[in-house]
Amino acid sequence: NPPILAIGKQSFVLKQFADAVVEEVITELRQLVKQAPFRQLQTPGGQQMSVQTTCCGSWGWHSDRKGYRYVDVDPVTQRAWPAMPVVFAKLAQQAAVAAGFAGFSADSCLINRYLPGTKMGLHRDQDERDFSAPIVSVSLGLPATFLWGGLERKSSPQRIILQHGDVVVWGGADRLRYHGVMPLADGHHPRLGRQRVNLTFRKAGD
């Protein structure tokens, strides 16, 4: 079996955990982005983010001049976000169980699309109302170097390579760690071409 790597007290990389369902996940993704297209959000400071995003589930993450928040209506389409596909929800729940977080039920999936050169600066995920739930992330397409920092911005991050089918679960003491993604290196992935897509599952609402 592919390994489960502990990268923190309550953080794990589950190598190739998504492999068995990855084709189904890609099929659902293609349908989803027709309902809620990828967009480049503005930060509260007015900068355009380099990553493209969309969402599914009851709550979707949004950012504009008014701030970062979860919304139940997509501000672009003015419709509810697409429902979370069953294969997404099951994958997130099973990964959480494998990492020791039984009872995780995601109500939000943020979908990040990286093209060559796209990066994500060091930040913490702190827009959710309940930090006791873990976060589960699924990597698809081109590999990326993930930056895994500490609880303070100043601590220098470790670099972790995430590949197609890898799943990361983090919670508890590691829930508020700083993290980011290095600029995506160019390449071609046999299934997704010249891009990386990351699914991030969260409990955002109540």
Contact positions with Fe ion (CB under 5 A) in 43-102: none
- What radius of gyration do the chain's Cα atoms show? 16
Which DSSP symbol is given to 20? G
Q: Residues 76, 39: contact at Cβ < 8 Å?
A: yes
CA geometry: angle 184, 185, 191, nearest 5 deg: 85
Q: Does residue number 110 form part of the binding site for ligand MD3 (CB under 6 A)?
A: yes
Binding residue (CB under 6 A) for ligand MD3 from 28, 74, 166, 174: 174
> Taking the complex as a whole, how short is the minimal distance between the CB of residue 205 and ligand MD3, in angstroms?
17
Q: Does residue number 54 form part of the binding site for ligand MD3 (CB under 6 A)?
A: no
What's the rounded Cα separation, in Å, for the pair 171 and 54?
23
Q: Does residue number 128 form part of the binding site for ligand MD3 (CB under 6 A)?
A: no
**What do you get for the CA distance between the two ends of the chain, in Å?**
36
Q: Does residue number 133 form part of the binding site for ligand MD3 (CB under 6 A)?
A: no
SS3 128: coil
Name which of ligand MD3, Fe ion, none residue 177 binds, using a CB cut-off of 5 to 8 Å depending on partner kind. Answer: ligand MD3
SS3 25: helix
Residue 68 known to bind ligand: yes
Binding residue (CB under 6 A) for ligand MD3 from 74, 107, 125, 128: 125
Q: Residues 18, 76: contact at Cβ < 8 Å?
A: no
Name which of ligand MD3, Fe ion, none residue 181 binds, using a CB cut-off of 5 to 8 Å depending on partner kind. Answer: ligand MD3
- Using CB under 5 A as the binding criterion, the count of chain residues that bind Fe ion stands at 1
Which DSSP symbol is given to 9? T
Q: Residues 23, 165: contact at Cβ < 8 Å?
A: no
Q: Does residue number 198 form part of the binding site for ligand MD3 (CB under 6 A)?
A: yes
Residue 32 known to bind ligand: no
Contact positions with Fe ion (CB under 5 A) in 117-136: 125
Q: Which residues pair with 135 in a beta bridge?
A: 170
**Which residues are part of a known binding site for 2-oxoglutarate?**
112-114, 196-202
Q: What residues make contact with ligand MD3 under the rule CB under 6 A?
A: 11, 110, 112, 120, 125, 137, 146, 148, 168, 170, 174, 177, 179, 181, 198, 200
